[in-house]
């Protein structure tokens, strides 16, 4: 218990410091991430994709190793697969909740099982992502969890003149509000949280429609939304950051 | 023919044949006995007449006639025959056994004619036949009733087993409760059936688990390939041709993922008790799905009209109802044309979607089968309606799909026997 109290105090202290700095996401150098995934290739892809985000990433490929890491070190966010050699990811979540309850938890599982999902969320996981997923999706979920965990209510994504308030669903350019539809907002936030990355039309469609995306077979629909979104942003004097990538999709580039 | 009828019929046929044979034998026997007894009686009477007769003529018509004759005709033996004699009292012909014998009585030749009425014999045979007939009829009736009752009772466990087997489902996990009677054969039948069904269920479960596991196992490589493509497209120096190649890969991995999820869903629906039922407001689900598809319908220039009335309460898994409604609505969107229409109607007991669209290349009913597509150019995976059908089967909803006059009409009826499992 003493250890738990110590960890909690450390965590709360950190949250305080982070809040004072209000520098999310770019000063997130200190954000520590634990990736628990036994498929090394998938692990490698995830690490490669999020390396620019400046997290300190640790990988565990087995239950025992993950359990050791959870009990020995402190993490801000843990991405955990449910089926692991040596034990269940759910058990790891239980351990996490005991030793460091403030840690954000994202489950990634091959099982699209409602029971697992509910069990995971009941144990205190923040999110559940079914394999296969787009890396951009995982990235945006991690950021969303970190935002909710450490910047509750006061987080904003700021890129030059553009300021996105994820909690309030508001977008400002030079402090002037831009009215967006829900889908446009979701797309903008998705693109912005994955800035400088090429995102596929499929990934964007899935992000805004969830599991139902495939049934609507309307990739062109994404195009229309993005066209409107760009128009609105430009009309509000925002730089034209959303670039289309031939054949594949789009990229939010502020460079 | 029913087993019980067949058994009863066989019993009756053999009983009747035995009775007929028995009757014939009885008749012959009784007739012979009565005949010989009458003959003996006549001969006995003659014997007494020969030894004790005082002489002269005697006539007691029609029973005894003793006449003196001139001489005994040569080569005459005693003669027995049946003859008819008119009975003046009863005004009818009566059958008599007549015994004629020529004898020397007190040294003069006599012709002795003795007669005995056969009426008694006939009466006796009639009485006997009547009694026997009545007895036979009663016997048959008793046989019939007893047979029917006992065989029905004997075969009751068999029929209960039949009824159970008729309702047997591989998908159900409810064990067969076969009733064992006293009959060894039925016990054996039940044992064999229990083993057979248990084995069938076990194998069915194994196949299902296999396909479920296969689907799960496929998710991981799909996730890896997707992630590698996600990394590949971040490369700065991709040319347009390469980008198109990657996009084609994405699209097909997307299809594969979708296909895999649908297969997984199908095998999960087949697993009894996998999806927990709850009270679902079907109409609300229809409304929310309609709202969700509106932007796409607008985008595709399809006019959607709807009339949604409250629907009867349904006990089903909310996710499955959501999938059911979503699959049907997205089909109506997908297989439609620019400027087309969709009309959605929800009423107390039914949910109807009508939409314009090209005629299906095959019959509408087979589109409910797995991997049936309405057109060759269609890049859908052909499982949408199969999923709909499985869900409808699970909750005993009726579903039909009609194409007529350029309109596709899918009707889901909630009127089926409602059952929550």
Report the alpha-carbon distance of residue B103 to residue B112 in Å, rounded: 7
**CA angle B8-B11-B17, nearest 5°?**
140
Which domain-ending residue is among A131, A150, A169?
A150
Does residue B418 have a pLDDT over 60? no
The domains of chain B are located at: 3-141, 184-270, 278-413
- Mean per-residue pLDDT over chain B, rounded: 85
* Claim to verify: residue A17 and residue A68 sit in the same structural domain: yes
pLDDT at A163: 92
Report the alpha-carbon distance of residue A214 to residue B326 in Å, rounded: 11
Report the alpha-carbon distance of residue A12 to residue A20 in Å, rounded: 12
B16: helix, strand or coil:
helix
Helices (H), B271-317: 282-299
Hey, what are A78's tokens? 């843990």
* Claim to verify: residue A99 and residue A212 sit in the same structural domain: no
Report the alpha-carbon distance of residue A159 to residue A141 in Å, rounded: 19
Chain A nearest CA to B219, separation (Å): 6
Contact A45 B251 (CB under 8 A): no
* Claim to verify: residue A42 and residue A166 sit in the same structural domain: no
Which domain-ending residue is among A115, A132, A150?
A150
Contact A248 B247 (CB under 8 A): yes
Q: How far is CA A13 from CA A10, A20, A27, A78, in A?
A: 5, 11, 16, 19
| Among B61, B66, B113, residue whose Cα is nearest residue B89 | B61
pLDDT at A21: 44
Q: pLDDT grade, residue B54 (50/70/90)?
A: confident
Q: Which of B230, B254, B296 lies closest to A214 in CB terms?
A: B254
pLDDT at B378: 54
- Spell out the residues 6+ positions from residue A67 whose beta carbon is closer than 8 angstroms to its own: A87, A92, A95
Q: Of 3.90.1150.10, 3.30.56.10, 2.60.40.10, 3.30.565.10, which CATH number belongs to B278-413? A: 3.30.565.10
* Claim to verify: residue A183 and residue A126 sit in the same structural domain: no
* Claim to verify: residue A177 and residue A146 sit in the same structural domain: no
pLDDT at B421: 37
Q: Of 1.25.40, 1.10.3470, 3.30.200, 1.10.287, which CATH number belongs to B184-270? A: 1.10.287
Residue A186: domain span: 157-252
For each successive 10 residues of chain A (255 residues), what is the average pLDDT?
Answer: 57 52 46 94 94 90 94 94 91 93 91 78 92 93 88 77 90 92 93 93 87 65 90 91 92 89
Number of domains in chain A: 2
Hey, what are B328's tokens? 């049907």
Torsion sign, CA atoms A51, A53, A58, A60: negative
| Among A164, A112, A104, A108, residue whose Cα is nearest residue A134 | A108
pLDDT at A177: 92
Chain B residues in contact with A246 by the CB 8 A cut-off are: 240, 243-244
pLDDT at A28: 44
* Claim to verify: residue A38 and residue A142 sit in the same structural domain: yes
Report the alpha-carbon distance of residue A162 to residue A189 in Å, rounded: 11
Chain A residues in contact with B253 by the CB 8 A cut-off are: 132
pLDDT at A4: 57
* Claim to verify: residue A102 and residue A171 sit in the same structural domain: no
Nearest CA in chain A to B217: A110
| Among B364, B347, B351, residue whose Cα is nearest residue B402 | B364
Q: pLDDT grade, residue B375 (50/70/90)?
A: low
B311-328 mean pLDDT:
89
- The CATH code of the domain that includes A84 is 3.40.50.2300
* Claim to verify: residue A77 and residue A116 sit in the same structural domain: yes
Report the residue of A215, A219, A249 to disrupt the B interface, i.e. the one with the largest count of B CBs within 10 Å: A215
Q: Which of A200, A218, A246 lies closest to B250 in CB terms?
A: A200
Angle in degrees, 0-180, between the axes of helices B240-270 and B184-232, rounded to the nearest 10 = 160
Report the alpha-carbon distance of residue A212 to residue B322 in Å, rounded: 10
């Amino acid at each position: 218990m003493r250890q738990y109290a110590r960890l909690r105090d450390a965590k709360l202290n950190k949250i305080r410091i982070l809040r004072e700095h209000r520098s999310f996401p770019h000063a997130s150098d200190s954000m520590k991430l634990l990736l628990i995934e036994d498929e090394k290739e998938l692990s490698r892809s995830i690490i490669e994709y999020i390396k620019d985000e400046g997290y300190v990433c640790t990988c565990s490929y087995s239950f025992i190793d993950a359990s050791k890491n959870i009990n020995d070190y402190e993490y801000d966010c843990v991405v955990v697969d449910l089926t692991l050699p040596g034990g269940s990811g759910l058990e790891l979540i239980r351990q996490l909740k005991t030793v460091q309850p403030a840690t954000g938890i994202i489950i990634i599982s091959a099982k699209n099982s409602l029971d697992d999902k509910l069990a995971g969320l009941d144990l205190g996981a923040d999110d559940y992502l079914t394999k296969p997923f787009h890396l951009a999706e995982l990235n945006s979920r991690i950021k969303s969890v970190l935002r909710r965990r450490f910047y509750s209510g006061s987080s904003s994504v700021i890129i030059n003149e553009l300021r996105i308030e994820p909690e309030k669903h508001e977008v400002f350019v030079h402090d002037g509000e831009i009215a967006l539809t829900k889908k446009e907002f979701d797309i903008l936030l998705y693109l912005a949280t994955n800035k400088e990355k090429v995102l596929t039309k499929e990934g964007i469609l899935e992000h805004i429609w969830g599991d139902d995306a495939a049934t609507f077979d309307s990739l062109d629909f994404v195009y229309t939304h993005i066209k409107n979104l760009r128009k609105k942003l430009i009309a509000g004097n925002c730089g034209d950051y959303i670039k289309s990538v031939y054949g594949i999709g789009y990229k939010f580039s502020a460079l | 023919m029913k087993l019980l009828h067949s058994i009863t019929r066989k019993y009756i046929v053999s009983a009747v044949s035995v009775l007929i044979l028995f009757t014939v034998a009885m008749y012959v026997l009784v007739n012979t006995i009565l005949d010989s007894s009458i003959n003996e009686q006549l001969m006995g009477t003659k014997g007494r007449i020969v030894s004790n007769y005082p002489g002269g003529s005697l006539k007691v018509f029609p029973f005894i006639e003793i006449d003196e004759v001139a001489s005994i005709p040569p080569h005459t033996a005693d003669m027995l025959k049946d003859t008819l004699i008119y009975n003046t009292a009863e005004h009818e012909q009566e059958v008599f056994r007549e015994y004629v014998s020529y004898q020397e009585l007190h040294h003069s030749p006599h012709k002795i004619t003795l007669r005995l009425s056969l009426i008694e014999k006939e009466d006796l045979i009639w009485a006997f036949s009547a009694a026997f007939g009545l007895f036979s009829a009663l016997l048959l009736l008793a046989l019939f009733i007893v047979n029917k009752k006992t065989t029905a009772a004997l075969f009751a466990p068999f029929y209960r087993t039949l009824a159970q087997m008729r309702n047997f489902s591989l998908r159900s996990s409810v064990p067969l409760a076969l009733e064992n009677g006293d009959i060894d054969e039925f016990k054996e039948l039940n044992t064999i059936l229990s083993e057979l069904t248990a084995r069938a269920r076990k194998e069915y479960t194994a196949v299902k688990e296999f396909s479920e596991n296969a689907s799960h196992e496929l998710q991981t490589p799909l996730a890896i390939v997707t992630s590698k493509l996600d990394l590949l497209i971040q490369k700065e120096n991709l040319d347009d041709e390469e980008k198109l190649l990657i996009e084609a890969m994405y699209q097909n991995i997307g299809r594969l993922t979708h296909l895999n999820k649908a297969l997984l869903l199908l095998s999960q629906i087949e697993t009894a008790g996998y999806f927990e039922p709850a009270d679902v407001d079907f109409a609300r689900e229809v409304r929310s799905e309609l709202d969700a598809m509106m932007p796409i319908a607008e985008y595709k220039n399809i006019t959607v009209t709807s009339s949604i009335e409250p629907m009867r309460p349904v006990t089903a898994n909310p996710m499955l109802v959501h999938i059911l409604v979503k699959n049907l609505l997205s089909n109506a969107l997908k297989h439609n044309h620019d400027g087309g229409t969709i009309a959605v109607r929800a009423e107390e007991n039914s949910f109807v979607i009508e939409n314009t669209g090209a005629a299906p290349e095959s019959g509408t009913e087979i589109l409910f089968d797995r991997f049936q597509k309405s057109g060759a150019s269609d890049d859908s995976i052909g499982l949408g309606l199969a999923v709909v059908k499985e869900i409808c089967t699970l909750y005993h909803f009726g579903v039909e799909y009609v194409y007529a006059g350029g309109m596709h009409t899918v009707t889901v009826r909630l009127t089926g026997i409602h059952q929550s499992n």
